[in-house]
Amino acid sequence: MEKIMINKKMLMSSAMVIALGLSALQANANPAAALLALQETVLSKGPNGEAPAAASSIFLNDDEIAKIKAMKATAAIVMHYGGNDWSQAQINGLETQFAVMGIEVIAVTDAGFKPEKQVADIETIMARSPDIIVSIPTDPVATAAAFRAASEAGIKLVFMDNVPANFVAGKDYIASVSADNYGNGVAAAHLMAQALSEEGQIGLVFHAADFFVTRQRYDGFKATIATDYPNIKIVAEQGIGGPDFSGDADRAANAMLTSNPGINGIWAVWDVPAEGVIAAARASGRDDLVITTIDLGENVAISMAQGGHVYGLGAQRPYHQGVTEALLAGYGLLDKDAPAFVALPALPVQQSNLLEAWMTVYSAEATDNIKNSIK
């Protein structure tokens, strides 16, 4: 996939706007207190600036579920990328809730973060005439025409995180569902500050693409460091475009550590790039390097359990996000009014709450690899 560099002025502008609105929460933050407060609120706005509705407000009663079962509806899940635990948890949540509603899942696709592959996936699925598509666009512009064709064909669309360009909720799609990605970026910043005793030099490995939720993470992390922790200096930044996100992050982190040997910590935009940063730290003999990230994948969880490079992270709640998306698809089948944007709060994770957090994120116990790594 071609790398698309983020417009830094745009990012800082949006970060500053959000930061000003959150000053009461973030100003002069104590990291531990700020992390606790994040679990009680949602800081993100939707793709079109929508205020978030709580996932707990999305509900179908027994009569509504019976009506949906009688429809014998079908659904397809069109993923942007399947190479992490987050994607599988989303799929698990969707499939579980669709089964409760009597909706058959006829396809699950993985675009490998390539817009052209996702467009082809949509076109192939449309030939099977599903009633529902749940998806996360790889690129809001490049995939818009394909999603528009699906919407105009009468397919009910529910989106994860990102929305195609110029789509209107309630008209072109039912709703979008997301974690609090800005809040998770904020969480990763507070965790970094806590690990570094609020001073030091850090680098950022961000997602070099026009992708709404990863941009929110970058905004949240960078604004929080700038606003709350003046003794932490960002001395290096590098974007990665994938699809080899771990390898790209390994190379980016190696370059940072070589050019800035005084770096104390590196933030990575999600867990797979964080794995690359871990590899770079090991290769450089930097056992002291602190890493924070977003998304609770098994490999970063093992590092955290071992007291390794990953000090902490902001976790999404992908299983429950998938359940919520399936319920909203039911809203679409019933022509029931739905909020445009639904969000679940951030979940700060450290070694001390790792096993509990894993259950919250995945609705399953942590793997033996994680349990056996805890020190």
Q: Domain 8-45+181-316+348-371: what homologous superfamily?
A: Response regulator (3.40.50.2300)
Query: What's the whole-number mean pLDDT along residues 219-232?
Result: 97
Note the pLDDT of residue 19.
41
Cα angle at 237 between 282 and 293, to 5 degrees? 60
Whether 2 has a pLDDT exceeding 80, the answer reads no
Read off the pLDDT band of 4 (50, 70, 90): very low
Which of 5-9, 56-60, 262-266 shows the lowest mean pLDDT across its residues? 5-9
Digit-coded pLDDT (tens) for 34-43:
998 888 889 9
Task: Return the amino acid letter for 285.
Answer: G
- Which residues, other chains included, contact 263 with Cβ-Cβ below 8 Å and sequence gap of 6+? 201, 202, 203, 235, 236, 256, 257, 289
User: Which residues on adjacent β-strands are paired with residue 132?
Assistant: 75, 156
297-349 pLDDT, tens digit each: 999 999 999 999 999 999 999 999 999 999 999 999 999 999 999 999 999 99
> What is the pLDDT at residue 368?
96
Give residue 82's pLDDT. Answer: 79
Per-residue pLDDT at 167 exceeds 70:
yes
**How much is the pTM?**
0.81
Phi, psi for residue 185 in degrees, rounded to 5: -65, -40
What is the pLDDT at residue 29?
A: 63
Instruction: Give the pLDDT confidence of 111-141 residue by residue, as tens digits.
Output: 998 999 999 999 999 999 999 999 999 999 9
Mean pLDDT over the full length of the chain: 91
Residues 6 or more apart in contact with residue 242 via CB below 8 angstroms: 1, 113, 209, 248
Do 53-179+318-345 and 8-45+181-316+348-371 have the same topology in CATH? yes
* Average pLDDT for 165-175: 96
Evaluate if residue 72 carries a pLDDT over 50: yes
Question: Phi and psi for 152 in degrees, rounded to 5?
Answer: -70, -20
Using the predicted structure, report yes or no on whether residue 288 has a pLDDT greater than 60: yes
Domain ranges of the chain: 8-45+181-316+348-371, 53-179+318-345
Percent of the chain beyond pLDDT 90?
Answer: 83
Looking up tokens 């349990």 gives 371
DSSP 319: H
Q: Is-contact 162 179, C-beta < 8 A?
A: no
Say what the pLDDT of residue 142 is: 96
Predicted pLDDT of residue 12: 35
pLDDT in tens, 88-117: 999 999 999 999 999 999 999 999 989 999
User: Over the stretch 227-264, which tens digit does the pLDDT of each residue have?
Assistant: 999 999 999 999 999 889 999 999 999 999 999 999 99
> Which fold, 53-179+318-345?
Rossmann fold (3.40.50)
Rounded to an integer, what distance in angstroms lies between the CA atom of residue 326 and that of residue 328? 5
What separation, in Å, do the N-terminal and C-terminal C-alpha atoms of the chain show?
40
pLDDT at 25 over 50: no
Task: Give the helix/strand (H/E) hosting 90.
Answer: helix 85-100
